[in-house]
Amino acid sequence: PEDGVHTSGLFVEGARMGDEKVQLEESQPKVLFSPMTYVQLLPVQSDKLSTYPHYECPVYRTTARRGTLSTTGHSTNFVMFMRLPTDQPSSHWIARGVALINSLAT
């Protein structure tokens, strides 16, 4: 793309991305990790972000979700937050522990 970058290879833990609506949905029974769709990351000034119903999903390097606390106050395993479209309130996904994972290997 002209701006940003395409990324793939992420996994959704505790939910899944829907095929038709391309938004967070409940995970399939007995499926903990689901492949994430391709994502385009775009640099945007915070005051120019579009508003839509979304969940600020944490992205972690591994499933451990722990690491050394860095000077920024975040775990060294934490990468960033990614806005994922949803028709549910954020509290719904927080209660399920939904996160994006870079690598399933620990």
- CA 36 vs CA 53, 56, 57, 102: distances in Å: 19, 15, 12, 10
Give the pTM. 0.85
Distance CA 53, CA 68 (A): 32
Residue 100 has pLDDT above 80, yes or no: yes
Domain of 76 in residue numbering reads as 5-103
Give per-residue pLDDT as tens, 11-68: 999 999 998 888 999 999 999 999 999 888 888 888 888 888 999 999 999 888 777 7
Report the number of distinct structural domains present in the chain.
Answer: 1
CATH number, position 87: 3.10.490.20
